Structure 1
């Protein structure tokens, strides 16, 4: 089972339970449909970072108070802000199956999340390699909604990156991204190599979550 299939299985909530062959075949065909529909796009910029006392930090005028994010960015002087999306055709595909084909609809949702994660991992590895050439290190990405990093920070991040014009990514009044299979995130840049900075599930305190990665 490859990495993105494992991610899809995790998003489906299987945990440590075995996955039957029919589900694996459904996952495979869902990835095929998504690959044909996806229009992967990403925009990112580097901003100066100022870590204040306590849990406050400043990114080019954007003031954030978050203990988990401050801990993630400790020792960094600059940071990537990014927005990424799989595009509107993926949303159309998800809506097509939302009525009448529940099993495929749920599987497509999980596979789309895994596909977006794979895309971001590839982006992060490319930036890590570029920074390594100049003696710098990239921290794990960190998105609004993780830990105590408020989801309300979606709006200023989108504005700072002008995502509506650059990649067609915007936000509803309820702070939901549209297209739905999209993400905003930060990734710190440091002169110090730090082997253990948490991201995602490792930072979240909800240890009984069905979708939690193994530590």
Structure 2
């Protein structure tokens, strides 16, 4: 609970400052509300990876032009395409709250973001444990929108995961996901254990790592 509180406080823009007790109480209440409204679902599928010329990466039949992703997947033989959502209930909750108490809706937004991140971390750890039995070790999640990994790749990734049918996740013409508290990502899998934290580069102090985004 302490970790998710810190994440929510960070999303609320407090930085290194401490939230007062009243705000902390509101955050705890908002977490309960968001959890009750959530219908978490995730999907993952594993594809072969091939590094091609000009910083392109082939994941199955999808060719991705991204120097950032290519660097992140260096040395990987497989890639896990991953999608997750908190479900439409969270969107309805926040929309309903915003009609009467915008400040509380903002706190719910922060709690939902923290809860989604926590859920994704848990699912990635579970995927990682299974793949370690095959001698494969996961890199941190890398989502469309990071670095030069264009947000437009959201569409083919969702199609390859059949997100609409498997977890009820769709996308607008402007690449916004519905439900909004959702994420897609590429997770590299390598025979080399790099000890990358699930939380990714933001949580790692190894600034000279060649896989750093």
Q: TM-score, normalised by structure 2?
A: 0.90
- Assess, with a 3 A threshold, how the Cα gap between structure 1 residues 38 and 17 changes in structure 2: closer, same or farther: same
- Assess, with a 3 A threshold, how the Cα gap between structure 1 residues 202 and 118 changes in structure 2: closer, same or farther: closer
Q: Give the corresponding residue for 1:97.
A: 97
Contact kept? 1:146, 1:200, Cα under 8 Å = no
Structure 2 counterparts to residues 1-215 of structure 1, below 5 A: 2-195=2-195, 199=200, 201=202
Cα distance per residue 1:27-55 (max 9 Å; x no partner) = 10001011111000001100111111331
- Assess, with a 3 A threshold, how the Cα gap between structure 1 residues 144 and 84 changes in structure 2: closer, same or farther: same
* Secondary structure in 2 matching 1:124: helix
- Distance between the aligned counterparts of 2:138 and 2:154, measured in 1? 21
Contact kept? 1:85, 1:182, Cα under 8 Å = yes
CA shift, 1:196, in A, is: 5.0
- Distance between the aligned counterparts of 2:158 and 2:132, measured in 1? 28
- Distance between the aligned counterparts of 1:45 and 1:129, measured in 2? 15
Contact kept? 2:140, 2:196, Cα under 8 Å = no
RMSD of aligned alpha carbons: 1.7
Contact kept? 2:80, 2:188, Cα under 8 Å = yes
- Assess, with a 3 A threshold, how the Cα gap between structure 1 residues 196 and 168 changes in structure 2: closer, same or farther: closer
4+ runs of 1 displaced by more than 6 Å? none
Contact kept? 1:113, 1:181, Cα under 8 Å = yes
* Secondary structure in 2 matching 1:33: helix
- Assess, with a 3 A threshold, how the Cα gap between structure 1 residues 95 and 112 changes in structure 2: closer, same or farther: same
CA shift, 1:63, in A, is: 1.0
CA shift, 1:133, in A, is: 2.2
CA shift, 1:8, in A, is: 0.6
- Distance between the aligned counterparts of 1:31 and 1:84, measured in 2? 18
- Distance between the aligned counterparts of 1:200 and 1:172, measured in 2? 29
Q: Give the corresponding residue for 1:213.
A: none
Q: TM-score, normalised by structure 1?
A: 0.90
CA shift, 1:80, in A, is: 0.4
Cα distance per residue 1:136-187 (max 9 Å; x no partner) = 2111111001111110000001111111111110000110000000000010
Aligned residues between the structures:
203
- Distance between the aligned counterparts of 1:59 and 1:130, measured in 2? 20
- Distance between the aligned counterparts of 2:72 and 2:91, measured in 1? 32
